[in-house]
Amino acid sequence: MIARKPIFWSRGRGIAQRRLRIGSRAAAAMACGILAAAAAAPIDAGSRKQLFMDRKWIDRSQGIVLTMNGPAKMNQPVLASDVAWEGDPGAAVAAYSSVIKDGGKIRIWGSGKPLLPVRLEPGGPVIALFAYAESTDGILFVAPDPKLAALEDSGAEIGKHGRIGGVSVWIDPQAPPAHRYKSQAKFYPPGGRPSEFHIYSSPDGYRWTLFAAPKIDQMDTQSILFWDEPQQRYALYTRKNPEAGTARRHRVVRRLDSADLLRWEHEQFVMEADDVDRGIYATPTSQPPVDYYGATIFKYPDDSAGSVYVMLAHAFWHWQRRPKEQRAGGYEDVKFSYEVLAPATLDDRLSVSRDGLHFSRLGDRRSFLPLGLSGTFSSKWAWSLPHPIRMGNEIWIYYFGDNRDHDGFVDPAATQRQCAIDRAILRLDGFVSADAAYEGGEIVTPLLTFAGERLELNADPGAGGSIRVELLDEHERPIPGYTREDAAALCDNSVCLPVAWRATGSVAPLARQPIRIRFLMRDCKLYAFRFAGPGAAP
């Protein structure tokens, strides 16, 4: 051990010297930081909406907390297993359903009455049916025109060729009209043959035909597929089961990409149980207490280069030993070869990424889409459907709820098994907000450039909060006419709140110049900002 001389500080000169040294170091560090910031290339904000889902647009702040905001569950199912849909007991709901907003309709596949024909080849026999329902308001769902679901019973071979494991519909912008609609799923051939990965296509979302069966190992659960415009590749998010067949089995969400939907490569795990997850409970088996059954993943607010990848990861919880009589599982047709654990529940957790590969977990890992009360239809499952849709100034997240857990045991507080498709509603851009303290707070952005004529905010000051905006030049000096003294105090709750200063509301003279924005806030939630042009929609 090296002996160190003791250091003695006097109450006068010594303390002053120590403060001088610390102050000098701080000043040097600050100078280096300012020089580095000045040297950094500005970020192009363009005229795109920019979100506060991470710290990309926060260079520094004080009195600010990034807060996850969960959606409000309506608890008013639009489709339910215990209510005859359109008077037809053949209607049902299922976990692996999907929804899109298509023109003036909200369309759900996988829930409703099995109506839509699926063929292995054009003009061939019908080998399966997709359940389907549609709506003009997103609340009242009905069956489509019967002519669109017409079947030739003589050619139907439903069930003979195998079973399709769910629906995940999306619109392919790269496809010709005959294959515009796509859906992919795990396919279970008869006779115990190995499962396959199938992609189906349709010209209208009503008539479906097998499009491709690419080789993808261990594909399982509902998968997400879309054309990733900035990457110029198709992105596939699906489940894999590392160490399958062993006591250490667990589930992860992975991403692959493809140029043609046929050859898939560049596998990377994007969500799996980490050390924090594994440490929250000690399990009676070798599996982690939570793993990830799948995920709803989508670009927001659009598919531009500046958009984020939002993940609603389906967390599957299993960490507690069941009573002995339940340890083999509760399904009538399945008996597991391993011990199943309670509570066997699923809910959704929010994460965000800028590249579609590296996701940051938000909200201190708390549930974004939680379970319902005991005894209700969603007391054991809350599973978001792809894809959330915009309705006016809201985002509607349709989700599947079930009072039966993953292993087949119905909630003891319920009188019967219930499941349903319900809506959860979120403010536009409302996944995460930068929240200012009651006493006040501020955000200074990195250096940026923009295109547009006005600055708009998505902000909620509540009843007593406010927000002012000051614009700074590249040397962090207030720009004349756009200082805090010139800034109007904004107090309205709006998704497109126009920013104004004493003499102007236009920022056009500053377009393409490097600037910073200083948001001066008090008791306020700030979700997003945007430099907009004339006539731009919120």
Q: pLDDT tens digits for 492-533?
A: 999 999 999 999 999 999 999 999 999 999 999 999 999 998
**Mean per-residue pLDDT, 359-382:** 97
In DSSP terms, 212 is beta-bridged to 199
Nearest-angstrom CA–CA distance, 321 and 330? 14
Nearest-angstrom CA–CA distance, 506 and 437? 29
What CATH superfamily is the domain 41-69+433-532?
Galactose-binding domain-like (2.60.120.260)
**H/E segment holding residue 60:** strand 60-62
Q: Provide the CATH number for the domain formed by 72-427 in this structure.
A: 2.115.10.20
Which pair of structure tokens corresponds to residue 69?
């905001």
Residue 108, judged by CB atoms within 10 A of its CB (0-12, 13-18, 19+), counts as buried
**Mean per-residue pLDDT, 148-173:** 83
Domain boundaries, the chain: 41-69+433-532, 72-427
What integer pLDDT is reported at residue 333 of this predicted model? 62
pLDDT digits (tens, 9 = 90+) for 232-279: 999 999 999 988 777 778 999 999 999 999 999 999 999 999 999 999
**H/E segment holding residue 312:** strand 308-321
> With pLDDT > 70 as the criterion, what percentage of the chain qualifies?
87
pLDDT digits (tens, 9 = 90+) for 16-72: 333 334 344 444 444 445 444 445 799 999 999 999 999 999 999 999 999 999 999
Residue 56, judged by CB atoms within 10 A of its CB (0-12, 13-18, 19+), counts as middle
Which pair of structure tokens corresponds to residue 103?
């023109």
Nearest-angstrom CA–CA distance, 113 and 127? 16
Q: Terminus-to-terminus CA distance in the chain, angstroms?
A: 66
> With pLDDT > 90 as the criterion, what percentage of the chain qualifies?
73
Nearest-angstrom CA–CA distance, 306 and 92? 39
Cβ atoms of 380 and 402 within 8 Å: the answer is yes
Cβ atoms of 181 and 166 within 8 Å: the answer is no
Which pair of structure tokens corresponds to residue 329?
């599982």
**Mean per-residue pLDDT, 310-334:** 86
pLDDT digits (tens, 9 = 90+) for 402-461: 999 999 999 999 999 899 999 999 999 999 999 999 999 999 999 999 999 999 999 999
- In this predicted structure, the answer to whether residue 3 has a pLDDT above a threshold of 90 is no
Q: What is the DSSP letter of 21?
A: H
* Span of 39-48, 295-304, 464-473, 524-533 with lowest mean pLDDT: 39-48
- Mean per-residue pLDDT of the chain: 89
- Number of Cβ within 10 Å of residue 18's Cβ equals 12
pLDDT digits (tens, 9 = 90+) for 117-132: 999 998 888 899 999 9
Q: What is the DSSP letter of 33?
A: H
* Encoded amino acid at 407, one letter: D
